[in-house]
Amino acid sequence: MLRSPITHDRCHVTLEAFAGQALAGISLGMVWFLIAAGLSIIFGTLKVLNLAHGSLYMLGSFCCYQVTVSLAGVPGNFWLAVLIAPLVVALVGGIIEVFLLRPIYKAEMIYQYILTFALVLIIAEVCKMIWGTGYHSVKVPWPFQGSVGIFGLSFPIYNLFLIAMGPLVFIGLRTLINKTDLGRNIRAVTENREMANALGTNVPRVYTGVFMLGAWLAGLAGSLWPPVSVVMLGSDMAVVIDCFIIVVIGGLGSLAGAFVGALILGLTTAFGLYLIPKLAVAFGFILMIIILIIRPYGLMGEPE
């Protein structure tokens, strides 16, 4: 759930208020992009619509909290958690792909939905068993504590860090896909799995690598968000719904579409909360419906 770092009197929409909500929306959108990028990459390559993607995000948040608590007193414990937690989630993603998804790739897609939905329930129960049903918090890490003045407003430095992370991850993923051997293999498998396999590409290994990359992105987002909000059960469902809206808006399987979609949804949510709080939840769905009517395959997707 969005918690805007800036509050204003809604009766007086000023330039400062507009700028503050814009920054809050962009920072939220950049975190959503990290999650949606993983969902989009997995779907674009494996054609798996992973309903448990939000659960991987939530698992990343709990792992981040656990590492920061376990290493309390160790300098930079939060940043160690940001390194460790996404790797744990990526490992879980690899196990899911190899042992659960791989055997049913050739089955009807409904089996993938049932399996990944079952994982939502299983991961939630595991998190509940380990961390309970209470709320957990993580302190804002050094050196991003405090606020800076922007357009006459006091804006959290950590949110600026989140804003910077989105473009950095986007550029990194584009470079990985377009400039590396792994990226060429991913593109080849995405275009034609059988042809890539005939030319010597290890398709199962690429599938596992892509799923682990998507899970790592979800775990990274889950690790970065706790200093802004709280770690709790149920965050998986809210996040995965927002991510599905983003990939539908941007276009299924489009990384650039996920970036644009996350930015649009973040801004829409921030201004919706500010202007009409009671309808804020509906803005994302309204936006999705409008875009589907105008462009059924998303802003940057391609018709199949």
Tokens 């959108």 correspond to what residue? 29
The pLDDT tens digits of the residues spanning 244-270 come to: 899 989 988 889 999 999 999 999 988
Contact yes or no for 227/140 (Cβ under 8 A) = yes
pTM for this model (two decimals): 0.91
- The candidate with the shortest Cα–Cα distance to 169, out of 218, 100, 134, is 218
Confidence of residue 190 (pLDDT cuts 50, 70, 90): confident
Position 151 scores a pLDDT of 74
Position 111 scores a pLDDT of 92
Separation of alpha carbons 50 and 244, rounded Å: 10
Q: Is residue 11's pLDDT more than 70?
A: no
DSSP per-residue string spanning 264-295: HHHHHHHHHHHH-GGGHHHHHHHHHHHHHHH-
Of the chain, the percentage scoring pLDDT greater than 70 comes to 95
The pLDDT tens digits of the residues spanning 196-215 come to: 888 888 899 999 999 999 99
Separation of alpha carbons 265 and 246, rounded Å: 7
CA atoms within 13 A on the CB side of 11: 0
Separation of alpha carbons 270 and 27, rounded Å: 10
Separation of alpha carbons 198 and 59, rounded Å: 37
Position 120 scores a pLDDT of 96
The amino acid at residue 174 is R
Averaged pLDDT of the chain: 89
Position 8 scores a pLDDT of 47
Q: Is residue 33's pLDDT more than 50?
A: yes
Peptide bond into 277 cis (omega under 30): no
Separation of alpha carbons 131 and 222, rounded Å: 15
Of the chain, the percentage scoring pLDDT greater than 90 comes to 56
Separation of alpha carbons 93 and 46, rounded Å: 13
Tokens 């507009």 correspond to what residue? 18
In sequence order, the 6+-apart residues with CB closer than 8 A to the CB of 185 are: 196, 201, 206
